[in-house]
Amino acid sequence: MMDGTTGIRTPWETPPAPGEAVEVAQGVLWLRLPLPMKLDHVNVYALDDGDGWTLVDSGMNTRRTRETWEALLSGPLGGKPVRRVVATHHHPDHIGLAGWFQREKGAELLTTRTAWLFARMLTLDEQDRPPPETLAFWRRAGMAEDMLNERANERPFNFADIVWPMPLGFGRLTEGGTIRMGGRTWDIRCGGGHAPEHATFWSRDDGLVLTGDQVILSISSNIGVYATEPEADPVADWLASCERLSTYARPDQLALGGHKLPFTGLPMRLRQLIDNHHSALERLERHLDTPRTAAECFAPLFRREIGPQEYGLALVEAVAHLNHLHQTARAVRRLNESGAWEFSRVG
C-alpha cells in the first residue's frame, strides 16, 4: 500500500493476529500485543539469536498480555528461551512486562539509564490520592474546578498498576553504541520529546530500523509535560531529535515502529512529523490572540473533539506546546484569578 503524495509504503496491510507473527526480515518477527485503551495495540519484535530470542519491548502487565505472550512463546517463537528484553523507552506499553521476563523467564533487561531509572522510580511511587504537586499542576493547566475536585478524591493511575515490579539490575544502552541482535549489528541512536533517552536501532547489515515510538506511521507520538518537570520543553527535544535522526534516514529503510504498520519512506515521515508540529505551533500561536489556558487550547492542536479518555494526554500535550511558545519568546503568560497560567501571543 502506498500514499502517492508522500512516497511512504506499507508492505503489510494487516498486522499479525493475536498469538501469531509476521516475519519482516530473516530472523525478525513482528508481534502485536493488546492494550486496554483507544490505541489498542503495541508492536513488539522478536529477533532470533540462534540459541534464544531478543525481544524489543514487552507490552503492558495485564493478564491478557501475559496469556498472549505464553501463546507466542510456545507458538511462533518455537519454545526457545527469551534471553534478553530490550526496552526502547520507559512507557508502560513498552517496558510493562520487562520485569516479568526477568523474574519468570530468566531474561536480561537492556535499556537506557534514563528509561530504567524512570520505570523503576515510577513503579515504586504508588499513590492513593494525587499529591499536592499534581493538583497544582492541573490547576495551573486550567483544569475545570469540578473535574479537579473529582480527581483530587480519586485514586490516580499508578505506573505499578500495569507494570510488573522492576528487579534491580539492567544492561545500559547508550547513544552511539552498538548492539548485536538477530544476526545484525545495530547502531543505537537516542531521541527525545516523547520519552527521555528513547533508544532507536539502525541495522548496519540491511535496511531495518527499530524506531519504537520515536517514529510511527500515521500518528504523532504524545509529547507531554507532567508535574515531575512542569517547565519542561519536550517539543524542542522532539523537533531536534527528528532533525538529527533525519540525517541517518533513507527512503528504502524499513521502519519498525511501536504502533501502526511498518513502512518505508522514513525521511518523508520524519519531515512530516517536523512540519506537522511547526504547523500546530503556528495554529496555537494564532489561537493566543485571546489569552488561553492549556485546557482551552485543544481545538487548534488536535482539530477534533477530545473525549474523557483522551483528556489527560491532551492536557499534557497542550502544556508542552504552550511551554515551547513561552520559552521561545512567542508567548507570554500570567496567572489568572483561578491560579491557572493564561498564555498570550507576543505582539
Distance CA 102, CA 33 (A): 19
**All residues at 6 or more sequence positions from 13 whose CB lies less than 8 Å from its CB, including other chains:** 1, 261
Question: What single letter denotes the amino acid at residue 127?
Answer: Q
Question: What single letter denotes the amino acid at residue 188?
Answer: I
Task: Give the model's pLDDT for residue 229.
Answer: 97
Selection from 54, 1, 21 nearest residue 210 by Cα: 54
Each residue's pLDDT tens digit, 283-325: 999 999 999 999 999 999 999 999 988 999 999 999 999 999 9
**Where residue 6 falls among pLDDT bands split at 50, 70, 90?**
low
Each residue's pLDDT tens digit, 9-32: 999 999 999 899 999 999 999 999
User: pTM of the prediction?
Assistant: 0.97
Task: Give the model's pLDDT for residue 291.
Answer: 98
User: What is the sign, positive or negative, of the torsion defined by CA atoms of 248, 179, 90, 80?
Assistant: positive
Our CA angle for 257, 263, 265, nearest 5°, is 115
Q: What is the mean pLDDT of residues 170-185?
A: 98
The answer to which of 3-7, 165-169, 304-308 has the lowest mean pLDDT is 3-7
Q: Which grid cell sits at 57?
A: 519491548
Which long-range CB contacts under 8 A does 18-23 form with residues at least 24 apart? 18/68, 18/71, 19/68, 19/71, 19/72, 19/75, 19/76, 20/75, 20/76, 21/46, 21/72, 21/75, 21/76, 21/77
Question: What single letter denotes the amino acid at residue 80?
Answer: K
Q: What is the mean pLDDT of residues 207-235?
A: 97
Each residue's pLDDT tens digit, 27-53: 999 999 999 998 999 999 999 999 999
Task: Give the model's pLDDT for residue 4.
Answer: 43
Residue 169 has pLDDT above 90, yes or no: yes
Cβ atoms 249, 190 nearer than 8 A: no
Each residue's pLDDT tens digit, 143-158: 999 999 999 999 999 9
Higher pLDDT, 294 or 2: 294
Task: Give the model's pLDDT for residue 322.
Answer: 98
Residue 225 has pLDDT above 80, yes or no: yes
Residue 115 has pLDDT above 70, yes or no: yes
* Total Cβ atoms within 10 A of residue 263: 27
Q: What is the mean pLDDT of residues 324-330?
A: 98
Q: How far is CA 137 from the centre of its chain?
A: 22
Distance CA 133, CA 264 (A): 43
Residue 111 has pLDDT above 50, yes or no: yes
**All residues at 6 or more sequence positions from 337 whose CB lies less than 8 Å from its CB, including other chains:** none
Distance CA 202, CA 178 (A): 9
Each residue's pLDDT tens digit, 191-200: 999 999 999 9
Our CA angle for 161, 321, 132, nearest 5°, is 45
* Residues in the chain, overall count: 347
Domains of the chain: 2-282 (3.60.15.10)
Q: What is the mean pLDDT of residues 69-94?
A: 98
Selection from 178, 170, 185, 169 nearest residue 49 by Cα: 185
Per the prediction, the chain carries an average pLDDT of 96
Is 337 exposed, middle or buried (CB count within 10 Å of its CB: 0-12, 13-18, 19+)? exposed
Q: What percent of the chain has pLDDT over 90?
A: 97
Distance CA 225, CA 133 (A): 13
**Where residue 347 falls among pLDDT bands split at 50, 70, 90?**
confident
Task: Give the model's pLDDT for residue 5.
Answer: 45
